[in-house]
Structure 1
């Protein structure tokens, strides 16, 4: 289901995506609304599920996770559903997607070191074939979602 988002709400979303702690007063000054009007719009977008939450961006390396990897899983016959029930318990997984194609699952994981990665993969191999790519650097992180242009 798609929700109609007007131009002012897009401007509010743009501000919140760049700084979720920005005050409603500052957002209002930037887009020409009062703080209460911004607050009402934000509350409505929260209620509709457009705004799903607010998060702190944490440095993986400064919290002891020196290794970041993308791990794909091609599940063995009958092992996908048990894996989906279990993946939520893996502390290493920061994002997980069920996908189409040859693999079933793509996971972004953070780990202490290569030995931690080896132990993590050992947990996965009973569910299917894995493929691992070590992340060298992050090119884009949490890019804002922009208004879809309908000029097609």
Structure 2
């Protein structure tokens, strides 16, 4: 499906607030509510819009510490790790990557003790490197329409 300028405008509004009404989107971008609804339905059917979700404040819900952890898996341990990582509630993002490390994870934790316990679990799969996050420079950056050349 080709995404035109109006559909990009709809996507921008939905990424800011997935609960915004079709009539509100229509007022902002110059379409009727039914036209917005039809475009959203087409983008859902095409798999461009995959889900709607609630973003939580991890800090306000008791997870004061955020870290980025890389893992260089021991020989023969990557497959087991890939199956197990899905069970770690602290892991909010996990990517398999190229380079010296195999995995990069974003984790949220209560405190340093919680971090230590997680690292103790992770080191059975490989060598870890941990980076404490100080702040988020780009908060929930939306996917934007590519520049036309």
What's 2:32 paired with?
Answer: 34
Distance of 1:147 and 1:61 partners within structure 2: 31
Displacement of 1:36 after TM fit?
A: 1.2
What's 2:129 paired with?
Answer: 131
CA RMSD of aligned residues (A): 0.9
Unmatched 5+ stretches in structure 2: none
What's 2:83 paired with?
Answer: 85
Displacement of 1:52 after TM fit?
A: 1.5
Displacement of 1:50 after TM fit?
A: 0.8
Unmatched 5+ stretches in structure 1: none
Distance of 1:63 and 1:109 partners within structure 2: 14
> How far does the alpha carbon of each residue in 1:76-115 deviate from its partner, in whole angstroms, 9 at most, with x for none?
1111111111111000000111111111111000001000
Displacement of 1:150 after TM fit?
A: 3.5
Distance of 1:25 and 1:136 partners within structure 2: 39
Q: 2:45 aligns with which of 36, 44, 47?
A: 47
What's 1:12 paired with?
Answer: 10
TM-score by length of 2: 0.96
Displacement of 1:148 after TM fit?
A: 1.2
Distance of 2:52 and 2:2 partners within structure 1: 21
Structure 1 outlier segments of 4+, above 6 Å: none
